[in-house]
Structure formats: structure tokens, C-alpha cells
Homo-oligomer: A and B are copies of this chain.
Amino acid sequence: MPNNQFKRGELYSVINGMASIAVARRLQKNFRQAGLEITIEQWSVLYHLWKEDGLSQQELCNRTFRDKPSITRLIDNLEKQKLVKRVSSKEDRRMNLVYLTDSARELQDITIGLANQTMDEALVDVGKDDIEVVKLVLQKVYDNLK
């Protein structure tokens, strides 16, 4: 087979592969080293609740790009760890609204600090302009495939 068939495929591994996995692992490691027992997936849910508390599970699906079963189980686990509470909505009884507990609110500053530190570690020697290009391209990729 012609070898150039692989050339474009490399792009897949670049965009999809190493970098995002490496960032995720480093963030998880930074959490662990700080003695925090939450997963990055759980953190990504809390992150959206810190910005706006009391979101429905469906809204969390939209904002975290996950499907409904994934959110159901993430909330299950967060509830077990007493970080969130499901409250069934009074306007629409199909909906659960998800609220932070006090212990979750305590995690906000330190974990966001660790996330920022992780991105600083990841972006050493990367120019601001280049970062902007990456953000725009990845946003465009997402829009293209949505």
C-alpha cells in the first residue's frame, strides 16, 4: 500500500491522542498528590456546577459532552462521596436538579488552582498566539463534527 495513506491518519493520533491523554493524566496525578480523591471526570462535573449550581442532569450532559448514562453514574458516585445532591424539580418532575454540598464547594479553589497549574506545566514554552490558534482550530473541529 502507498505509504502516504498513513500520513493524514497521523493527524488522528496527534489531535486525538497523546496530548489530551497526557494532560488528563497529569491533572489526575496532581489531584492525587494533593490528597484529593476525585477523578477528573467527577471534577469536570463539579466544574460546571461551580459555574452554575442546580443544573439538571441533561444540562450537565450538554455541558460536559457526555451521554445520559455517563452522567447518571457520575452523579451516583458524586452522591456517594457526598459532593452533590439530587433534588427532583418541582416544575418538571422528570428532572433532577443537581446541587453542590459544602464539601464540594470547599474543593473549588484548590482544584481549579491545580488545573491551572497543570495547564501551565503543559504549556511551558508555548506562545500565546499559538495557544489561540489551537483553541480556534479545536473549536472548529468540534463544530465541524457536531
Contact = CB atoms under 8 A, between A and B. Distances in A.
A19 B139 contact: yes
Contacts of A11: 119, 123, 131, 135
Contacts of A23: 12, 15-16, 141, 145
A94 interface: no
A52 to B, nearest CB: 11
Contacts of A144: 121-125
A22 interface: yes
Contacts of A5: 109, 112-113, 116
A1 B115 CA distance: 16
A13 B14 CA distance: 17
Given A14-B138, A21-B65, A125-B144, 4 more contacts: A9-B119, A16-B20, A22-B142, A26-B145
10 A-B pairs closest in CB distance: A19-B138, A22-B145, A18-B142, A19-B141, A8-B116, A16-B20, A133-B133, A122-B141, A20-B20, A9-B115
